[in-house]
Every structure is written in C-alpha cells, then in structure tokens.
Chains A and B, each alone.
Chain A
Amino acid sequence: MSEANIRGDAATEAQLSVSELLVDPAGVPRARAMLQRAEWAARAFARYGKAEVDAIVRAAAAAGAARALEYAEWAVRETGFGVVEHKALKNVACSTGIADYYAGHDYVTPRIDREARIVEVPRPAGVVLALTPSTNPVAAVFFKCLLALMTRSVVVLSPHPLAKEVCADAARALGAAAVAAGAPDGVIQVVDEPSVPLIDALMSDERTSVIVATGGVPVVRAAYSSGTPAIGVGPGNVPVLVDATADLAKAARRIVDSKSFDNSVLCTNESVLIVEQPAATGLLRQLRQAGAYLLEPAERDKISGLLFPGGRFDIRFVGKDASWIAAEAGLRVPKSTRVLLAPFDLVVPEEALAHEKLCPVLGLVRVPSARRGIDAARAVLRLSGRGHSAAIHSADPQVIMEYGAAVEVLRVAVNVGSSLGSAGHQTNLAPTMTIGTGFFGRSSVAENLHPSHLVQWTRLAYNRDPAEPFGDFTGLVPWQAPAGPIPPYPVASNQRDARPVTAGAIAQAENAVRSGSNGFKPDAAALREEIRRMILEELSQLAGG
C-alpha cells in the first residue's frame, strides 16, 4: 500500500468517527425543537378571533384544493397505492370540501347560555401531533391540518414513511398558505424523516397536547400508551349485508363503486359481502354487470394464497387494481373487472379472505336468512374492525335496526357504499378521514373525527340562585386580530414605527399616571397630555373606520 493510500484511509476512518459523534440518527432533538416552536405558535393562535381563523382556513383549503390532482398523482407514484382520480376527489373533499362543510360552524367565539347561566369559552387543544397513513396520505394531511386550523390548534405532522415526501410537501403548502393568510409562524410543521424512536419521542413529549393517530394498530396502541391524551382509531373490516328486500341493481352498483374506489384503501371499504340466499343469484348477476368478477374455487384459492402468504396480508397488494391482482395470480379476467369476488363458506379466523383486505378483493358469503347474516357480520368483526364500520342494503327497517343493534360497529352505511358513506362523504355523518372506533375498538372517540374533538370549553358557571344577576356578556370576545405577522420580526426598538394604540395600552398608561402621582411625578402633566392625544387618535380612527 502506498503512503498516499495509508493517509487517505486513516482520514476516512477518522472522519466517519466525527460524523458518528455529531449526527443523531433519529432526528429527535430537531423534532423536539419543532414541538417547542409549536408551543409558541399555539400560544399565539389561541388568541385569534373568528374572522382571522376563517380567512386562514379558507386560504389553506384553497391551497390544498389547487394542488389536489398533483398531490394525487404524487401520492400514487410514491406509495403505489390507489387511483389518481379518486385520490384527487378525496383531496378536494378534504380541503375545500371540509372547509365548506364547516363554514357555518364556530369553534372560536364564546357561547352564552342565559338559561343555564353559563358562558362557554372555547380553548383549543394546542399542539396536535398528527400521524397520517400511507393509504390516504394527502387527504389525511389536509383533513387533520384543517381541523386544527378551524379550532386554532397547531400541527406537528409525522407522515407514514411510505408517503413522507408528498405529505411533507402538502403540509408545507397548507402551512405556507395559512401563514400568508395571517396564521402564526410554525402553525403547521412536518417531520421529514419519520422513524419509530422519533415518533415515540414526539408522542411522550409533554408539549404534545393530543395525538391524532391514524394508521396501523401498533402506532395507535403506542399513542394510547404514551401517556399523552390521544385520539386513535382501530382498523376496519367492514361487513356488508344485502337482504332479500334490497334493490339489488342499486346495491350491486354501490358496492362495486365503493369497493373499487381508490382501490379499497379507505378503511371504510367493504371487506366481506354477506348475501341472503334468496337474493344471491340476482345480486351476483347485477354485480357482474357492475364490473365484479366471481372467482371460481380454484381461482379463489390462488388469490387467497397470493394475498395472504403465510396467513398475513401482503401489503404489496394494498390499493392495487383488480385486473393487476388477477394477473399476478395468473388469472385471466375481463378487462372491465373492477372487483374480484371471492366466495367462501364460513367466517372463521382461519379463513384468510374474511380478514381486512385493502384491495378490491371482496369476500362473499351466502346465508340462509337475514338473522344468519347478522351473525356472520358479527363474526367478521370478531376477526378485526370492532367499532369501525358496517353497511347494509335493505328496505326493511326492522332488519336494519337489528343489524345496527347487533354488529359491534359505531356507524352503519345504509343503502350507500361504505367507503364514502361511512366516512361521511355520501351520508350526513361528519365527513372525515379518521373513524372513531369507540370503546368497541379501544378508542376514546366513537364518532367520525370532527373539529369539536379538538376544542375544550372553559365554562364560566354562575351561581344557580336567580338572585345573583347573570352578567351581560353580549358582544364580549376575548380574542383579537393580530396587528401583523406573528411573531413580529424583531426590529430594533429605535427603528420601530409607533405601535398601534389599544384600549389596553391606554388603561395601563392611566394606571401609570395614578401610580406616578404618589411617588415620582416628574412629568405627570405631560404624560396626561400624551394619553389625551392617544385617546383622541384612537377615537378618530374608530370614527373613520
């Protein structure tokens, strides 16, 4: 070895050691810095008024919607999941759609209940740690960020590693639009390199006010174990019952549309179709017409083996389209195939096809009666998906009621596809990307996540005795529009323009005069004159405005 080589090798080795000492692989300190910045931003944002919040939400939503298609393409490219057109729809639904849906709501202004003698002051959660999934990456980012903005909370976002680039860009786009519209700096921050130790550190940090976790079971359980308040949701495994009274043509079309929507990546997508025997033949005919392909037993076994090697779902198939999956299994199916129907006899744990499938393969079970169908639906949910969603297609309120009272879910989509129905986009449930699975599903939230879940209320509760007069709070709002960017740029005090005069400043100046009169009084008269001038100035501004 030459002398030059020896030197070169030694330098390389030593250099590596230096970087080892200086690099924190988990990026945890930087993430903690984000939380501290978030704490400052949250403190400022919590004092904003309704008009400013509305403007910020509108701006952020518009920024998201403007890039809905671009992000849909990016998400599919980065993750390999789903369908661009459907993701674009969801991105619009979760940006301007959500903003419009909640436009009439107010999570900012105090509420006065004269009857109850209580005034309720909304107080935001603060720092929301948002964990978003790979399956619906951008829509979930939009959704969680907008819910936080509506309620004056700030977001630190940790996206799923499979979708980290598109999510980071989407979060930054919303954040930039929000800040440009007046939101405090740092209102939306995003972790670029998510990792398990980093997420653990963020979750257990006391500066995190609440974790909103959407993702796999481990991350949701970790959120609940962190010691920080958490809104986590469990997985789905959606049974859909079609009874003999259903409109079979409509049911078939709705089920195929729903199951093929974004190639089944919404956790509300149908997993097992349960059909009452008298309706089976008719339903299958309609399903075929709608684009479903009924697998023969041998074909079914190939698909089952392909999707569940060793009994576990292979995430390679998440969000892939039906004809691609069929081709992978070596099957020839019509080009128009949107859903593969996989028949099996009994919903039991060892039946792989009864488990959750985030791809357009739909289990099919025939049952002799609606009652047995309800039993089968309960069996589906015993495998997984308790507390999540179910669907039913029926014209019989009694069956629908029995179904709803028996299956352990917290929403049942009735005569509508479950993907968009249970998620509130085709029903009047709250439109959401986060499905509360309640106590059935080991969650603290039983509804579709909506803005109220991020607001807490301070209640000013008066003496119940009517002899004690209830105050007149009409028009009293403790929040204020910021005078400029938050935080203001630190201009040196000798270069600042005169700060705008507020009523508070005048009151303080008056106090100063009073306190000055009993000790120091060099220029009390001049100060009074100055205050008079300030008040006149403010009055003239009010008159002019």
Chain B
Amino acid sequence: MVAAAVKVTEVAVTEELISFASKQDMLAKSKQFWNPDKTQFWIDSGVPLVIDRREGYFIYDVEGKRLIDVHLNGGTYNLGHRNPEVAAAVTAAMQRFDIGNHHFPSLARTALAEALVSTATPGLTKVMYGSGGGEAIDIALKSARHATSKRGIVSVAKAYHGHTGLAVATGDERFATLFLADRPDEFTHVPFNDLAAMEAALRGRDVAAVIMETIPATYGFPLPAPGYLAGVKRLCERYGALYIADEVQTGLMRTGELWAISKHGVNPDILVSGKGISGGMYPVSVVLATEAAAGWLTEDGFAHMSTFGGAELGCVAALKTLEITCRPEVRSMVHYIAGVFTDGLAQIQAQYPDWFTGIRQDGLVMGLEFGHPQGAKFVMKRLYENGVWAIFSTLDPRVLQYKPGILLTPALCEELLERTEVAIGKARDDVAKGAHP
C-alpha cells in the first residue's frame, strides 16, 4: 500500500479512503479515471510526481522523494504547505463553522472584507467573493461591464486569467478555442509593454476594462517596462475603462509589497486575488473594487451568486493568511530572501551566461530564461532529479517559473540555490548533447 510505505501517520481515515497497490497501479488508475493526457505528460517529462505528504516548503512523492517546492501552485503555498498557524485557525473554525450560507451576511466574510479593504491600495472599498481565481476574474469583468455599461475587455497577448467563461476569453487561445470559448468580438488582445497598441484598443471608448496580471505568470513573468502599467492606467482613465489588477500570482507580498501593483504607483479600480489568499488550506478568491466599480452590490446584491464563494472556512484561512503576510517581520524577510536570490542567481548565471540567458525578478517572482525554445523543461527535469520542484511557463517554455516561499529560512535558500546551480549545469549539458525535453 503506497500510503503506508511513506508512513502517513496524520490521519488513519486517509488510509481507509485512499489505498493503492503501488505507484504504478495508482498512475494507471489516474489515467483510467482522471486525466490520461496530463498523467502521461508528467511521466514523459521526467517528473513522475505523485505528491503525498507535504510540510512547509517540502513536498514528498509517494515513494518518499523530498522536493523543495518553488512552484507553490502559483503562490498558493506562499506560507508553506499546511502552515501551522493557518491550519490551527481552520481547525478551530471547523468546531463552529462550515462553508456557510451565501445569502446571508456572515461574520467571517465581513471580517475578511474589512481586513482586505484596510490593507488594500487606496480607493478599494468593497469585497466580492468567489471560490477560485477564474470565478473572481469573471466577477471582476462582470462588475466592470455593469459599472461602465460597455462590453469590451482588453488583455495582453499570452495572458492567463483562468478557465471560466469570461476569464478564458481574456487568455491565450490555447485554452479558449478548444472549447469554442474565444470571443474575438468582445475580447481584444494587445501586445504586452506596448502603450501604443493599448491606446489603439481603447480609443473606441467601447472597452469596459483592461485586465492585467501585474507580471504575466504563465507567459514566464516578462516584467512590465518602467512606467508601462501607470501608462495603461492613464489610458484607462482617458477612455473610460476600468483597470483590473490580477494579483493572483503577484500579490500577497511576493514582490516585497502586499500587492505588486502598488510598486507601480497604480491604484486599480478592481483587484483580484486567489490562490495564496487562503494559505492553501481552503479555497476562496476575492475581488476588491472601488465604490464605483462595485455598483451592482447596491443595485441588485443577488445579481452574482456563488454557494461556495466566500466560504466561511476559507475566509478564516484568509484572515490568518493576511495577518501573517502583513507582519512587518515577513515583509522584511521577503526583502532578505529576494536579495539572496538576486545575488545567488547572478552567480549561477555568470557561470552559464550563454545558457542561463536571463533573470526576470521582482522580489520572489522570478522567471529564469534559458537559451533553448524548450529550455525550462530541461531544467525542470534536472531540478526534479535534484530535489526541487519548479514548473516551466506554459506559454513560454524557455522560461522557468521560480517562485520561492515568502517564509524561507536562510539555510533552505542556500540549499535551494546549490541544487539549482547543479541542475542548470546538467540541463545545459543535456541540451549540448542534443537531448529532447
């Protein structure tokens, strides 16, 4: 039995419910009953990972292999897996609460909304809840359309904002056309870092909102040029569109400030957070909006409903997550950690300047560029062998997403950099030998 082999001691009931003869048996059934393509993809990529136990920044494969997690599911595990403080808060909450009734005012939802507003960029005064990032993006886009009475939505090419109805239309066609979910008439994609293209898209004054990840994650974290985001905000104001900051991956102190957009001097009309907002313990997503952008809440508060949106256990997890994240000690640590990676990665790059071609970094949001169209896949594989889990950028596989946790210790940073250095060197040799990713 796989679970027993890795000494899962936490909950006996887990073993009662989940039991496979072997890892092979489990993978076969995963293909049979779950997702055959995705299951096979990871096997073929040299990352045959089935995560079992997890703790802090470590995840353990069912066969016991330890990996340092620098994928963190896009920041979901910013505070580490099963953060003890978040776990304690949720455990305590479960003695009294459950998901709650979404129709009624709720203690936990109200407390979280107040906490979010009090820490937000200026102007954001209302909070709406979803159960995941995609739903939150849909809420944001719907709110913008209601507020402006316009339909158009502008996003950047290769954007990614989720897979729900409206969100998927903002993103790369890879995820939209398969499901016939692209809507070119209402959803315009413009090149990133191109203010002229942005202005051209807005000039018709038929755009409800521009939606931007502060640093586009799935595109490999290309950094906004100095002044670009502020310029987009100015154009939005000029042409009567709202600015939606998608901070799902860049928020929650990853760039050394609670919300990355504040580093660009932009006060968005709407800000979206998900993933890490509830510490990876219970899903919840949030949309923060200005009074003007949230007008439907006063006109018809039942207009958007979600049974699981703002689930109370998620709100409790988010309250604790936000409290931890906003500690001055944590902000300071993020700056220290970012500095260590700036220096450490520069040293690695100096060894392999022709292979490790670029470092995109804003705090702990990092994209590592390699000199091969599929470069990050080679590095991902070697990192996995070397005990590190980091994922390539789906929409630009040259770039490895490198997202260390915000509570990393100095010792673990050093270990991670050493493992990374070795893996990058080995991946370089793989490419030189003409291997395939």
A interface, CB within 8 angstroms of B: 14-15, 17-18, 21-22, 29-30, 33-34, 36-37, 39-41, 43-44, 185-186, 189, 486-495, 499, 505, 508-509, 511-512, 515-516, 519-524, 527
User: What's the Cα separation between A334 and B255 when bound, in Å?
Assistant: 68
Residues of B within 8 A of A43 (CB): 336, 410
Residues of A within 8 A of B336 (CB): 37, 40-41, 43-44, 185, 487
Q: In the complex where A492-B263, A520-B432 touch, is A17 in contact with B362 (Cβ < 8 A)?
A: no
Inter-subunit contact B107/A29 (CB<8 Å): no
Least distance between A10 CB and chain B CB atoms (Å): 11
Q: Which of B350, B351, B410 lies at the interface centre, i.e. has the most chain A CB atoms within 10 A of its CB?
A: B350
A-B pairs with lowest CB-CB distance, top 8: A520-B354, A490-B256, A508-B350, A492-B362, A487-B335, A40-B336, A33-B329, A490-B363
Inter-subunit contact A512/B350 (CB<8 Å): yes
Residues of A within 8 A of B409 (CB): 36, 39
Inter-subunit contact B428/A22 (CB<8 Å): no
Nearest neighbor of A40 in chain B, beta-carbon distance:
B336
Residues of B within 8 A of A486 (CB): 339
Least distance between B409 CB and chain A CB atoms (Å): 7
Residues of B within 8 A of A185 (CB): 332, 335-336
Q: In the complex where A33-B327, A490-B255, A490-B256 touch, is A519 in contact with B96 (Cβ < 8 A)?
A: no
Inter-subunit contact A527/B334 (CB<8 Å): no
Residues of B within 8 A of A487 (CB): 332, 335-336, 338-339
Inter-subunit contact A186/B329 (CB<8 Å): yes
Q: In the complex where A490-B255, A494-B223 touch, is A17 in contact with B316 (Cβ < 8 A)?
A: no
Nearest neighbor of A21 in chain B, beta-carbon distance:
B92
Q: Mind listing 12 A-B residue pairs with CB under 8 Å?
A: A15-B107, A21-B96, A22-B316, A30-B329, A37-B336, A40-B337, A494-B226, A508-B347, A511-B351, A512-B351, A516-B354, A521-B354
B interface, CB within 8 angstroms of A: 85, 89, 92-93, 96, 107-108, 111, 223-226, 255-256, 263, 316, 319-320, 323-324, 327, 329-330, 332-339, 342, 346-347, 350-355, 359-364, 371, 407, 409-410, 428-429, 432
Nearest neighbor of B96 in chain A, beta-carbon distance:
A17
Nearest neighbor of B367 in chain A, beta-carbon distance:
A493
Inter-subunit contact B354/A37 (CB<8 Å): no
Residues of B within 8 A of A488 (CB): 335, 339, 342
Q: Knowing that A22-B319, A39-B410, A490-B334 are A-B contacts, what are 18 other residue pairs whose CB atoms are under 8 Å apart, sorted by A's residue number?
A: A21-B92, A22-B323, A30-B329, A34-B329, A39-B409, A487-B338, A490-B256, A490-B338, A490-B339, A490-B364, A493-B360, A508-B347, A512-B351, A512-B352, A516-B354, A519-B355, A519-B432, A522-B354
Least distance between A320 CB and chain B CB atoms (Å): 38
Inter-subunit contact A494/B225 (CB<8 Å): yes
Least distance between A524 CB and chain B CB atoms (Å): 8
Residues of A within 8 A of B371 (CB): 520, 522
Inter-subunit contact B347/A490 (CB<8 Å): no
Least distance between A69 CB and chain B CB atoms (Å): 30
Residues of A within 8 A of B107 (CB): 14-15, 18
Complex partner residue of B350 from A21, A493, A511, A523, CB under 8 angstroms:
A511
Residues of A within 8 A of B323 (CB): 22
Least distance between B82 CB and chain A CB atoms (Å): 15
Nearest neighbor of B319 in chain A, beta-carbon distance:
A22
Q: In the complex where A18-B107, A22-B316, A36-B407 touch, is A493 in contact with B362 (Cβ < 8 A)?
A: yes
Inter-subunit contact B351/A21 (CB<8 Å): no
Residues of B within 8 A of A505 (CB): 346, 350
Nearest neighbor of B257 in chain A, beta-carbon distance:
A490
Residues of A within 8 A of B432 (CB): 519-520
User: What's the Cα separation between A495 and B353 when bound, in Å?
Assistant: 20
Residues of B within 8 A of A30 (CB): 327, 329
Inter-subunit contact B335/A494 (CB<8 Å): no
Inter-subunit contact A40/B320 (CB<8 Å): no
Residues of A within 8 A of B224 (CB): 492
Inter-subunit contact B329/A520 (CB<8 Å): no
Q: Which of A486, A495, A509, A521 lies at the interface centre, i.e. has the most chain B CB atoms within 10 A of its CB?
A: A495
Inter-subunit contact B223/A22 (CB<8 Å): no
B interface: dominant SS: helix
Least distance between A497 CB and chain B CB atoms (Å): 12
Q: In the complex where A22-B320, A33-B327, A37-B329 touch, is A493 in contact with B361 (Cβ < 8 A)?
A: yes
User: What's the Cα separation between A34 and B96 when bound, in Å?
Assistant: 31
User: What's the Cα separation between A488 and B339 when bound, in Å?
Assistant: 6
User: What's the Cα separation between A487 and B343 when bound, in Å?
Assistant: 12
Residues of B within 8 A of A491 (CB): 362
User: What's the Cα separation between A16 and B329 when bound, in Å?
Assistant: 28
Least distance between B406 CB and chain A CB atoms (Å): 11
Inter-subunit contact B332/A186 (CB<8 Å): yes
Q: Which of A487, A490, A512, A515 lies at the interface centre, i.e. has the most chain B CB atoms within 10 A of its CB?
A: A490
User: What's the Cα separation between A20 and B55 when bound, in Å?
Assistant: 26
Nearest neighbor of A521 in chain B, beta-carbon distance:
B354
User: What's the Cα separation between A524 and B353 when bound, in Å?
Assistant: 9
Nearest neighbor of A44 in chain B, beta-carbon distance:
B336
Residues of B within 8 A of A492 (CB): 223-224, 255, 263, 361-362
User: What's the Cα separation between A322 and B360 when bound, in Å?
Assistant: 69
User: What's the Cα separation between A43 and B413 when bound, in Å?
Assistant: 12
Residues of B within 8 A of A523 (CB): 354
Complex partner residue of B360 from A18, A39, A494, A519, CB under 8 angstroms:
A494
User: What's the Cα separation between A40 and B143 when bound, in Å?
Assistant: 43
Residues of A within 8 A of B225 (CB): 494
Nearest neighbor of B222 in chain A, beta-carbon distance:
A494
User: What's the Cα separation between A33 and B326 when bound, in Å?
Assistant: 11
Residues of A within 8 A of B92 (CB): 21
User: What's the Cα separation between A508 and B421 when bound, in Å?
Assistant: 14
User: What's the Cα separation between A493 and B324 when bound, in Å?
Assistant: 27
Residues of A within 8 A of B429 (CB): 519
Least distance between A483 CB and chain B CB atoms (Å): 11
User: What's the Cα separation between A505 and B350 when bound, in Å?
Assistant: 8
Residues of B within 8 A of A22 (CB): 89, 111, 316, 319-320, 323
Residues of A within 8 A of B350 (CB): 505, 508-509, 511-512
Residues of A within 8 A of B93 (CB): 21
Residues of B within 8 A of A509 (CB): 350, 353
Q: Which of B336, B351, B354 lies at the interface centre, i.e. has the most chain A CB atoms within 10 A of its CB?
A: B336
User: What's the Cα separation between A512 and B428 when bound, in Å?
Assistant: 13
Q: Which of B85, B342, B354, B361 lies at the interface centre, i.e. has the most chain A CB atoms within 10 A of its CB?
A: B354
Inter-subunit contact A21/B89 (CB<8 Å): yes
Complex partner residue of A493 from B320, B334, B359, B410, CB under 8 angstroms:
B359
Q: In the complex where A487-B339, A494-B223, A520-B432 touch, is A40 in contact with B361 (Cβ < 8 A)?
A: no
Residues of A within 8 A of B320 (CB): 22
Residues of A within 8 A of B111 (CB): 18, 22
Residues of B within 8 A of A495 (CB): 226
Residues of A within 8 A of B108 (CB): 18
Least distance between B313 CB and chain A CB atoms (Å): 11
User: What's the Cα separation between A508 and B347 when bound, in Å?
Assistant: 7
User: What's the Cα separation between A189 and B327 when bound, in Å?
Assistant: 13
User: What's the Cα separation between A179 and B330 when bound, in Å?
Assistant: 17
Inter-subunit contact A512/B353 (CB<8 Å): yes
Q: Which of A29, A34, A189, A493 lies at the interface centre, i.e. has the most chain B CB atoms within 10 A of its CB?
A: A493
Q: Which of B89, B334, B360, B361 lies at the interface centre, i.e. has the most chain A CB atoms within 10 A of its CB?
A: B361
Inter-subunit contact B354/A36 (CB<8 Å): no
Complex partner residue of B85 from A29, A39, A494, A516, CB under 8 angstroms:
A29
User: What's the Cα separation between A527 and B423 when bound, in Å?
Assistant: 23
Residues of A within 8 A of B362 (CB): 490-493
Nearest neighbor of B349 in chain A, beta-carbon distance:
A512
User: What's the Cα separation between A490 and B263 when bound, in Å?
Assistant: 10
Nearest neighbor of A516 in chain B, beta-carbon distance:
B354
User: What's the Cα separation between A523 and B432 when bound, in Å?
Assistant: 16
Least distance between A485 CB and chain B CB atoms (Å): 9
User: What's the Cα separation between A505 and B226 when bound, in Å?
Assistant: 27
Nearest neighbor of B334 in chain A, beta-carbon distance:
A490
Residues of B within 8 A of A44 (CB): 336
User: What's the Cα separation between A522 and B409 when bound, in Å?
Assistant: 38
Q: Which of B347, B359, B407 lies at the interface centre, i.e. has the most chain A CB atoms within 10 A of its CB?
A: B347
